[in-house]
Amino acid sequence: MLKLAIFLTPMYINTIASYLPEQVITNAYFEELNGLTEEWIIERTGIRERRKASSDENTHTMGIEAVKKGLAILPYDYTEIDLIVGATYTPHDVIVTLAHAVQHAIDIPEIPVVTISAACSSLLNAIEIVEGYFAINKASKALVVVSEHNTIYNNEDDTKAGHLWGDGAAAIFISKEKITENDWQIHDLITGGAATVGKATESVTLKPLEKGLIMPFGKDVFINACTYMPKVSNQILERNKLSVDDIAYIIPHQANLRITKNVAGTLGVPEEKMISNIQYLGNTGCAGCAIAMDENKNLFQKGEKIIITVFGGGYSYGAMLVEV
């Protein structure tokens, strides 16, 4: 069967900003709570500390704070934004969604506004929604907001996963046309669902009326994350006629430092090419990669190519190729 080339609608990242709550939770907290030592947690996850939202913060407020920081450095008038896409699996409100809260906060009326969830892969699914709106000429300047309030749902007494989670948010402003020479171009984007493999639909669950955010089958998550992130990264390389040597950095979903190292080994790249913030932020869900992009934007050099690769419960996965 003839396979047709897939051409991405042009997209450019104009500005990235992020927000982190002030409160820091160290591993000592979990040692006192349930006996998990710092050495035990670091050996299995790489996590030393994580951020926790205050009682006055939530998914909406963190997302809005990230957006405000982005608006301060946006290279065009914010009223030109004609699409807002929110992404989260930890909603503050399932009626007034993250994207609608942002629209209200920045006061841009009567534009398309939608919030989606594909677990920890939601960042790339949100950007893919932007691609669709751009392709059918329903928008030209979009705002993607990713925000996770994991700790409000987390079951800290769960010794399998209660120590993993952190809170944070990021905002990415994307345009159909290049705005400035500092824009990053999104060259390609792949997303997919893998709900038919392993224990996809039961390995990570968030049921607010039951035990909250738990991970009863962490090993299955580990195995499939280590399979799908390098697999989809290689797919995007092949589709763009690139080798892994052409990539300056890889930003994987911030789930577990052992997963990051495993993905590096599978792809055959040195670990220093892998950007990670899980050590001091914990698993910040679909916001993790976007926060890492913001944290390292001054590290990246013009012309460098970066792969963002994600994996989430359910299961979901994806990869995006960006040129600085």
Q: How is the chain split into domains, by residue range?
A: 11-175, 184-323
pLDDT in tens, 146-171: 999 999 999 999 999 999 999 999 99
Confidence category of residue 1, pLDDT binned at 50, 70, 90: very low
184-323 shares the fold of 11-175: yes
Q: What would the mean pLDDT of 316-323 be, rounded to a whole number?
A: 98
Check whether 120 has a pLDDT greater than 50: yes
Check whether 56 has a pLDDT greater than 50: yes
Percent pLDDT > 70 in the chain is: 98
| 292, 254 contact by CB (below 8 A) | yes
Determine which of 53-57, 180-184, 210-214, 269-273 has the lowest per-residue pLDDT on average.
Answer: 210-214
pLDDT in tens, 18-36: 999 999 999 999 999 999 9
Determine if the pTM surpasses 0.75: yes
Q: What is the pLDDT of residue 211?
A: 80
Q: What is the pLDDT of residue 74?
A: 98
Best CA proximity match to 292, nearest among 18, 13, 12: 18
pLDDT in tens, 70-113: 999 999 999 999 999 999 999 999 999 999 999 999 999 999 99
At the fourth CATH level, the homologous superfamily of domain 11-175 is Thiolase/Chalcone synthase (3.40.47.10)
Q: What is the pLDDT of residue 183?
A: 98
Check whether 5 has a pLDDT greater than 90: no
CATH class of 184-323: alpha beta
